[in-house]
């Protein structure tokens, strides 16, 4: 939709919403990750799959999309998803690179699983197998760039996985919802009329 002399915003920052939706769907489709987050016992991987209601409850409790970790005593395993380091692409300034970070935080009492497995590393393995060299909204595939240990305090620690994403024109299209386009036009006309 066009307004005389002005165009509806296009930005690779709009890809964050789309990428978050794709990542959320991938996590919701992985029963092992959901069990590792939800159950706090050593045999979490062998527990029953979560109900649809339990799966949805993970978002906002165990899976954080806002960079605020509120520890409430009953939720002990978390994934915090963050988008960071937006920079122009070195070879094509029309594209933008950014980092997608997954902070896997677990209570230290919940780290050990059966068979010498460690919960944060098992969650990391599941996330990595779902995301590395996979496509989200960007023009390229996600590229694993680093992983490091996180120690928050004497109770919580984990891992940070970092992936590089490249975003180009395909995610700089207009707003994903036509109603957003229409609302933008209304607000723009109102702004022009008032000032």
Inform me whether the pLDDT recorded for 168 exceeds 70: no
Q: Give the residue with greater pLDDT, 137 vs 123.
A: 123
pTM given for the model: 0.79
Segment 93-105 mean pLDDT = 88
Cα separation, 35 vs 47, in Å, equals 7
pLDDT band at 177 (very low <50, low <70, confident <90, very high): low
Q: Where are the domains of the chain?
A: 2-194
pLDDT band at 140 (very low <50, low <70, confident <90, very high): confident
The whole-number pLDDT of residue 188 equals 60
Q: Is the dihedral of CA 50, 53, 56, 62 positive or negative?
A: negative
Tell me if residue 116 falls in helix, strand or coil.
Answer: coil
Q: Give the residue with greater pLDDT, 105 vs 171.
A: 105
What tens digit of pLDDT does each residue of 101-131 get?
Answer: 999 999 999 999 998 999 999 999 999 999 9
Within 13 Å of residue 73, how many CA atoms lie on the same side as its CB?
0
What tens digit of pLDDT does each residue of 52-88 get?
Answer: 999 999 988 899 888 777 766 677 899 999 999 988 8
Q: What is the CATH number of domain 2-194?
A: 3.30.2000.10
Angle at Cα 106 formed by Cα 125 and Cα 28, nearest 5°? Answer: 55
What tens digit of pLDDT does each residue of 2-40 get?
Answer: 555 555 555 667 778 888 999 999 999 999 999 999 999
The whole-number pLDDT of residue 49 equals 97
Segment 145-168 mean pLDDT = 91
């Amino acid at each position: 939709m066009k307004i005389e002399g002005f165009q509806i915003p296009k930005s690779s920052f709009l890809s964050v919403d789309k990428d978050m939706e794709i990542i959320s769907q991938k996590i919701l489709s992985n029963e092992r990750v959901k069990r590792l987050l939800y159950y706090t016992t050593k045999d979490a991987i062998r527990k029953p799959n979560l109900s649809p209601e339990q799966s949805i409850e993970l978002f906002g409790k165990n899976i954080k999309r806002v960079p605020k970790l509120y520890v409430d005593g009953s939720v002990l395993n978390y994934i915090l998803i963050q988008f960071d380091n937006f920079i122009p692409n070195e070879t094509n300034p029309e594209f933008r690179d950014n980092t997608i970070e997954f902070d896997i935080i677990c209570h230290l009492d919940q780290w050990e699983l059966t068979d010498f497995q460690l919960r944060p590393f098992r969650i990391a393995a599941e996330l990595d197998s779902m995301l590395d060299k996979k496509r989200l909204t960007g023009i390229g595939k996600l590229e694993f760039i680093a992983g490091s240990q996180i120690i928050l305090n004497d109770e919580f620690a984990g891992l940070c996985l970092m992936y590089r994403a490249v975003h180009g024109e395909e995610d700089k299209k207009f707003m994903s919802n036509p109603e957003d386009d229409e609302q933008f036009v209304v607000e723009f006309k109102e702004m022009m009329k008032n000032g």
